[in-house]
Amino acid sequence: MRLFSSVLAMLGALVVVLTACGSSGGSARIEDGKTVLRYQGWTGEVEFHELAEELGYFKNVKLEWVGNTTSGPQDIQSVATGDIDFGSAFNGAVVKLNAAGAPITSVLSSYGADEDEYTGYYVLENSPIRSARDLIGKKVGMNTLGAHHEFLTREWLAKEGLTNDEIKTVTLTVVPPVNTEQALRDGQIDVAALNEIYRESALQRGGIRPLFTDKSLFGAFSYGTYVVRDDFLAENRDAVADFVQGTARAIRWTQVTPREEVVAKFGEIINKRHRNEDTKAIEYWRSSGVPVAGGVIADRELQTWIDWLVRNGELKEGQLKAEDLYTNELNPYANGTYPDGSGPDGKALAHK
């Protein structure tokens, strides 16, 4: 597991060097009586906080897009260095950044797997690969290392009985998402991690089958969280609370609103923001992927990856506890504002 050790060491160096000279510290800019929250986006996608602003769910904050991110780990590193005010990443990456000394706290779940949204690890239909043991000496293509796809691949291999030495023979290869399906079909990789538009379009073309999915591994599960810096939370608690409640309501809106209406709203948002992007990806949107009303965080969603890192020698036993890495205090679906688990529209959670 040398890769994780080196990643953790680099994160530690990054945090030590850059948190001292972060661009904003705990201060926030105020415009027109509202706290400005800086963030990074994703091309062709609408994030829950962007939806919240469009739906008018924020009272005391306004968003400022500063550019697009390249990955979840990069996004939350930018939070740690003070370049943005909030970000989102896979919880394993959140745990690693905490372990490296980053002063961050998770405040809301940001993505996950449910009946309709998940990441699948696909092989060609005629591939001889049928089990984890068949992956020994093979290549798995994914969008980035040190995040969701890598953790899930290694966890599946371990659960299927492979030893650490056997797992090390499986080559994890970074492939841009737009090229991953073709790399699989051309034989450049043996397994392709696919989700959202890349999964749906590949399945439409046929000729592939899932080896496993994150849904089959953990069931309905939230895999990522929004994080903020601790000093920013301390100095701007009301603003962060407004961000959390509004974003939680937006998550809830996607959970109870017909898919066609959600996709139409996403299209409106993309067209209005003029970022030179198209709406093709959102046509493949299936669900929020967040299986809990309003994105309430559960202990196991962070503890799972703490335990994983302990087993693999990346953390010491007891070094981190999930309960110390997140708070649900600001989420109206956890703090009693919406005690029945329904949103402000009164509808019950229903996956489509």
Q: Is 308 among the domain residues?
A: yes
Q: Is 70 among the domain residues?
A: yes
Checking if the pLDDT of 222 tops 80, the result is yes
Q: Strand 119-124 relative to strand 139-142: parallel, antiparallel, unpaired?
A: unpaired
Q: What pLDDT is stored for residue 336 in this prediction?
A: 74
Q: Strand 30-31 relative to strand 34-41: parallel, antiparallel, unpaired?
A: antiparallel
- 95 with 242, same domain? yes
- 270 with 318, same domain? yes
- 87 with 235, same domain? yes
Q: What pLDDT is stored for residue 278 in this prediction?
A: 87
- 225 with 103, same domain? yes
* Residue pair 106/306 in contact by the 8 Å Cβ criterion: no
- 49 with 192, same domain? no
Neighbours of 301 (CB within 10 A): 23
* Residue pair 215/117 in contact by the 8 Å Cβ criterion: no
Q: Is 342 among the domain residues?
A: no
Q: What pLDDT is stored for residue 337 in this prediction?
A: 77
Q: Is 72 among the domain residues?
A: yes
Q: What pLDDT is stored for residue 176 in this prediction?
A: 93
- 302 with 237, same domain? yes
Q: Is 180 among the domain residues?
A: yes
pTM of the model: 0.86
Provide the domain count of the chain: 2
Q: What is the phi/psi pair of residue 169, to 5°?
A: -80, -15
Checking if the pLDDT of 186 tops 90, the result is yes
| HEC readout, 41-101 | ECCCCCCHHHHHHHCCCCCCEEEEEEEECCCHHHHHHHHHCCCCCCEEEEHHHHHHHHHCC
Q: Is 54 among the domain residues?
A: yes
Structure tokens at 141: 């293509």
- 151 with 288, same domain? no
Neighbours of 49 (CB within 10 A): 26
- 100 with 187, same domain? no
| HEC readout, 203-262 | HHHCCEEEEEEHHHHHCCEEEEEEEEEHHHHHHCHHHHHHHHHHHHHHHHHHHHCCHHHH
Q: What is the tens place of the pLDDT at every residue in 96-135?
A: 999 999 999 999 999 999 989 999 999 999 999 999 999 9
- 269 with 312, same domain? yes
- 236 with 303, same domain? yes
Which is higher by pLDDT, 284 or 21?
284
Range of the domain at 305: 35-114+221-324
CA distance 235 to 95: 23
- CATH number of the domain encompassing residue 280: 3.40.190.10
